[in-house]
Structure 1
Amino acid sequence: MTDIGRAERGGAAGPRDVAGRTVLIAGATSASGAAAVRVLLDAGAEPIAVGRDAGKLAPLATLGARVEACDLASAAEIGALAARLRADDVRVDGVLHLVGGWRGGGGLAGQTDTDYRFLETGLTALRHVTRAFDADLRAAASARLAIVSSTAVARPLAGGANYATVKAAEEAWARAVAQGFAKAARDAGDPLRAASVIFRVKALAGLEDRLAEAYAGLWERDAAEINDTVVEL
């Protein structure tokens, strides 16, 4: 929603307020996605829940989120989604990237190519989503991107080598996005208004609400304070 649209609904959001922000939740059909939808709606934000399975998205629509069925690993489908939102005069202020999963075990010998390709989908989706909405985030009055990574990046194990490798790559991509935000602001002579943050968890189960609240809380801090940072939950 544009700033004009927000004003019509009761005023534009302030720089330290998630209320009124349009947040795209990539991979929203997980428990973490449902928690993010609930927390963001309660805070007055406008979540867009995105996932491949329209049936699994339906409960999120019932909660009040806009839902979009889309294969996040497909650059063409992400491009079509971005075009659809812009045609509806929707501009994205935030992205919460939840695409991922776990496969591992069996030591180094057990790190199969099949498992690696499955895990790599999370990185592919992150690349597509951030590229498709980069202009929106840079133009927003206050934007926040966050990914969910793992403590395994700091201490990779042989049985989780595939997983740790992909998560490390996702962190590198998120940090590159952070540098892009900073450079764009610096080149334009503007204050930094967009931030890219990495959340690290040992295991996400049981932390879904905490993650959602931590993401919504990113708007309470200046972008310059949190851009290119790692937060352990």
Structure 2
Amino acid sequence: MNSADASPLAVAWHAANISEIADFSNRSVLILGGGPVGIALIFVLRARHAKQILVSEPTALRAEQNAKLAEAVFNPTEDKVGEKYRELTTRKGVDIVFDCAGIQPGLQDGMEALRHKGIYVNVAGWEKPMSVPAGQFMTKEFTIKASMAYNDKDFKETVDAFIQGKFKGVEKMVTSRIHLEDAVNKGFEELIINKDNHMRILVTPKLERLNRTA
């Protein structure tokens, strides 16, 4: 496992640490956004024995990938996310929300799904200012935390967990493998044009052309 492979897992591990929840075994969790960090969070929360993992993801392919790991995945463009997740948590709402989407509709869904005195952890980079609904913020008395990247401690704990076999199946996060010479058109451009069809694209440092002449 190298730093590139561990990066999304370490980001997710840091977010779990930021929540300051020592024991996830009796906690229900909602992840907003089932992209690379969102699905990495599923693996991390599984490794940390979360009781219930739920996901909000509108893209069909990503929803399908997340559904293999989470208890339930809903499409926020079709379902009333807050209501659906309250139904799955005996009406009280989820204990923790990890926001990996960074969009206002997602935030509103997440805060509607969150229980009284729950924890909302923002992991996403927002392109627009975040607007917290004051009514829910006051009446639910929840805590908002921010999680940014990871530190050396997070990385070490992530690698240790990997060595212990706690991330089985994590290789499925890699949706494409390419050569260095294809990094622009099959890597960066592919992630821009068809980002919803990929989780992670791994690039080999060896040029294909050199391999052919070796």
Higher-Rg structure is 2
What is the TM-score with the length of structure 2 in the denominator?
Answer: 0.49
